Amino acid sequence: MTKKISLSLAFGLLLLFLSGCGIWGQQTSNASENESDNNSTDLVELDPDNPTTITFYTYSLAVPTMKEGMEQLINDFNDTVGKEKGVIVEPVADPNYQQYRADITAGKDVDVIQHTFGTLDASRLNLDFKAYEDVFPAEELEEHLEGISENALQLGVIDNKMYGLAFTFSTPIVFINGGLFEEAGLDPNDPPETWEEVKEYALQIKEKTGKDGFGLEPDNGWVTDSVFFSNGADIMTEDRSEAVFASEKGIEAIEIWKDIYNSGAHATGSTTEVPEQFMAGNLGMYITSTALHSGFKAAAEAGGWELYGAGLPQFGDQPSIPVNSGSALAVRPDSPEKKAATWEFIKYVTGPEGYTTITEQIGYLPLRTDLAEDPNYLQGFVEEHPLYQINLAQLEHIRPATIWPGEVATEASTIFRDAIVEAVSTEADVTKTLKNAEENINILLK
């Protein structure tokens, strides 16, 4: 009973992050003395005998299912590269993505932030986030980024500069309860490929087992982007000056989703309740992030059923367009020493060793995809956990999740999310609901 409660609490915290200290130190005082150096992209040499301390604000430390892996990642750096180069990383757990904002406002040292993509522009404008091109040497930056998925690299780019380097990351996939599939007379090795087939499979599961066949919460906060994109719709114009999701294709996508929701075979509930239903063995298919893989696998083993997976469904013969969940690393070093220390940390945690730990211990994708075929890193892990192959394949055609313009990011994203919830889960007219939301967002933008 205790294990079930702990697992529920852990996933409740984790899903909150998916739907989404210290006084000024001696290094800060050096910033004004070396302002011209800090404005350069040249890196100073660090002193291992007098190490530079930087803070790393990370929400993963506040998530029980991620905490141990993130601690290992940071400790491994401090014990190896950090000790050799002269860098100490002090982690700060940041639940609800609020602590770093409060501490920046209070004038405390906040050097590296594990930041979500959707509000990155707002932080860039208001919290002195630095573009990678403006603080790190171009040649070193180019060399380090080689081998990271090009699609992933574009996720934190705003106005042609990188304000966040993709860090913990996944794409949406369909988790499948193999036991319910077989009980319903379905083959879990032959999953649905289209939204039409999702409805057919879900209804068959409901009819044969009495349990819900499919789940995707209307308030999920990120998979919704994939629903629009996969049907050929946009959410904003390319220059982010106008919301355009209430297009014919956008309306059609949400109407198809609503039809499944109203079929009687779609799970209802919040982003906390629906995954708990899946873990309990009471839901046939559930679309979410691979970050939940380890917890789902443990639940399946405890429940005596097999966990399977499938790619994001498509509309007809149109290829599906997955978006990303997860985070980027944003930086705001305020001295030459901190800039050099930050670069050493960034290189490690987004290098082969870092991404191996992130994948094996936390559950996110290795954005250096060649690691999945390297016996020295992740080949064995990926062979043992074939669900990761689905996500790695989807990296080839992902599209960045929507980054709402900074000035209106919070309000615009709230209007959009609330409109989807209303359009899908109530009797509201889809066209009217989406058009009203689009109009209200465009008023904000103008």
The tens place of each residue's pLDDT in the chain, 446 residues long, gives: 444 444 554 555 455 445 443 222 333 334 334 444 556 789 999 999 999 999 999 999 988 778 999 999 999 999 999 999 999 999 999 988 889 999 999 999 999 999 988 788 989 999 999 999 999 999 999 999 999 988 788 888 999 999 999 998 888 999 999 999 999 999 999 999 999 999 999 999 999 999 999 999 999 988 999 999 999 999 999 999 999 999 999 999 999 999 999 999 999 998 889 999 999 999 999 999 887 887 898 899 999 999 999 999 999 999 999 998 889 999 999 999 999 999 999 999 999 999 999 999 888 888 898 999 999 999 999 999 888 888 888 888 888 888 889 889 889 999 999 999 999 999 999 999 999 999 999 999 98
pTM score, two decimals? 0.79
pLDDT score recorded for residue 117: 85
DSSP string across 167-199? EEEE-EEEEEEHHHHHHTT--TTS---BHHHHH
Q: Which residues are within 8 A (CB) of 66 and not within 5 positions of it... i.e. 6 or more apart? A: 14, 60, 291, 362, 363
Closest CA to 44 of 332, 335, 331: 335
Q: Which residues are within 8 A (CB) of 308 and not within 5 positions of it... i.e. 6 or more apart? A: 175, 176, 177, 178, 181, 188, 189, 191, 387
Residues of the chain with CATH 3.40.190.10: 2-170+325-397, 172-323+404-445
β-pair type (161-162, 52-58): unpaired
Domain 2-170+325-397: CATH superfamily, name plus number: Periplasmic binding protein-like II (3.40.190.10)
> Look-up: residue for tokens 């705003």?
158
Q: What is the DSSP letter of 314?
A: B
d(Cα 278, Cα 262) in Å, to the nearest integer?
Answer: 19
Give the containing element (helix H, strand E) for 112. strand 112-116
pLDDT score recorded for residue 422: 98
CB atoms within 10 A of CB 28: 15
The amino acid present at 318, given as its one-letter code, is Q
Q: What are residue 245's phi and psi, to 5 degrees?
A: -75, -15
d(Cα 339, Cα 152) in Å, to the nearest integer?
Answer: 23
Q: Which residues are within 8 A (CB) of 69 and not within 5 positions of it... i.e. 6 or more apart? A: 60, 357, 358, 360, 361, 362, 363
Query: Which CATH architecture fits 172-323+404-445?
Result: 3-Layer(aba) Sandwich (3.40)
- How far apart, in Å, are the Cα atoms of 33 and each of 26, 87, 336, 339, 439? 12, 21, 10, 15, 50
Q: Which residues are within 8 A (CB) of 402 and not within 5 positions of it... i.e. 6 or more apart? A: 118, 225, 235, 236, 413
Kindly compute the dihedral angle of the four CA atoms of residues 288, 289, 294, 297, in this order, to the nearest 10 degrees: 30
Q: From its phi and psi, is residue 22 left (phi > 0), alpha (psi between -120 and 50) or beta?
A: left
pLDDT score recorded for residue 35: 45
pLDDT score recorded for residue 214: 98
d(Cα 269, Cα 291) in Å, to the nearest integer?
Answer: 20
The amino acid present at 246, given as its one-letter code, is A
Closest CA to 57 of 118, 119, 104: 104
pLDDT score recorded for residue 15: 52
d(Cα 8, Cα 224) in Å, to the nearest integer?
Answer: 24
pLDDT score recorded for residue 33: 40
Determine the angle formed by the axes of helices 64-77 and 336-349, rounding to 10 degrees. 120
Give the containing element (helix H, strand E) for 395. none
Numbers of helices and strands, H then E, in the chain: 22, 11
- How far apart, in Å, are the Cα atoms of 288 and each of 78, 216, 262, 278, 391? 33, 8, 20, 11, 11
Give the containing element (helix H, strand E) for 88. strand 87-93
In sign, the C-alpha dihedral spanning 149, 151, 155, 156 is positive
